[in-house]
């Protein structure tokens, strides 16, 4: 069960996880910011918090099984998929390994991204003994190819709202690829952002960034039905721009894929 180290530090909003989809085999929740998905003993983690919640709800005679076929970075929010038994874990893991699972991210970055639709290709590596990644030459012995596809949803006040599809899944991939192009994700102090999205939060590890796992599409591990789960935006996005207040009220998406809307502060994209 959750130890006293968890109490008063990290918790689910309203005390319970925001479950977006649930069945006997798996569940998808809307991950809050500032929480590690998995962690060493004694450090709060999403897995332990969710396991405690399920144990309290279900009162099982044995322990709670919770498989973790993928992760989200600590400051990232959005849809994350867990499994409830080993067969489901194996089948979902196989889908990730064969790139059958489609994940869509939304990000707000600094600057005006051009062109409005594009592909970013880089070589990256994890910095030894540091929780950080960097761009490296292709010839580097630790280089791993990183590819993402994006389109601009909207631009305003020298900021860009992007929809991103990862072709590869490298450590901090979206964050380092955006930062290396002078388009740091808002709030991402680790990769050079000048914007603070949580001025009242002193611990930088707990600060959120404007990167959200908006959508995950996968095959149900037993029935093989296609499931698409969409994660609502966290409340702090409303403070980023009135655009997101309007979006929350009307469902306005900004534009269709491959198109963009710009403000006078950003040059037209081509």
Catalytic residues: 73
29 class by beta-carbon count within 10 Å (0-12 exposed, 13-18 middle, 19+ buried): buried
- Please enumerate in sequence order all residues whose Cβ is within 8 A of that of 186, keeping only pairs 6 or more positions apart, or say none: 108, 109, 110, 159, 193, 195, 197, 209, 210, 240
Give the integer Cα–Cα distance in Å for 72 and 147.
17
3-class secondary structure, 106: strand
* Alpha carbon 70 to its chain's center: 11
3-state secondary structure labels for all residues of 111-124: CCCCCCEEEEEEEE
H-assigned helices in the chain: 46-58, 86-97, 173-180, 242-250
Question: What token pair was written down for 76?
Answer: 């990232």
Task: Please check whether residue 47 is in contact with residue 38, taking contact to mean a CB–CB distance below 8 angstroms.
Answer: yes
Task: Please check whether residue 151 is in contact with residue 257, taking contact to mean a CB–CB distance below 8 angstroms.
Answer: yes
Q: Which of 77, 266, 58, 86 is nearest to 186 (CA)?
A: 77
Instruction: Return the number of other C-beta atoms located less than 10 Å from residue 73's C-beta.
Output: 21
Give the integer Cα–Cα distance in Å for 194 and 187.
7
């Amino acid at each position: 069960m959750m130890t006293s180290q968890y109490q008063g530090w990290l918790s689910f909003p309203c005390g319970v996880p925001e479950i977006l989809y649930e069945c006997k085999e798996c569940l998808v929740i809307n991950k809050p910011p500032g929480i590690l998905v998995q962690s060493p003993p004694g450090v709060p983690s999403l897995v332990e918090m969710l396991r405690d919640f399920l144990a309290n709800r279900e009162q099982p005679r044995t322990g709670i099984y919770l498989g973790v076929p993928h992760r989200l970075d600590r400051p990232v929010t959005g849809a994350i998929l867990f499994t409830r038994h080993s067969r489901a874990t194996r089948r979902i893991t196989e889908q990730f390994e064969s790139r059958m699972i489609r994940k869509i991210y939304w990000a707000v970055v600094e600057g005006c991204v051009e062109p409005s639709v594009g592909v970013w290709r880089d070589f990256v590596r994890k910095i030894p003994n540091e929780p950080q990644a960097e761009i490296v030459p292709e010839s580097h012995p630790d280089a791993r190819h990183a590819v993402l596809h994006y389109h601009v949803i909207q631009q305003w006040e020298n900021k860009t709202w992007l929809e991103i599809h990862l072709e590869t899944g490298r450590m901090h991939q979206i964050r380092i690829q955006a930062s290396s192009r002078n388009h740091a994700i808002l709030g991402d102090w680790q990769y050079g952002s000048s914007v603070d999205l949580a001025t009242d939060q002193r611990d930088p590890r707990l600060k959120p960034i404007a990167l959200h796992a908006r959508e995950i599409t996968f095959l149900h591990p037993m029935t093989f039905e296609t499931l698409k789960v969409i994660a609502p935006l966290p409340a702090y996005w409303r403070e980023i721009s009135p655009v997101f207040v309007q979006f929350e009220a009307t469902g306005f998406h900004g534009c269709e894929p491959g198109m963009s809307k710009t403000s006078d502060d950003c040059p037209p994209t081509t």
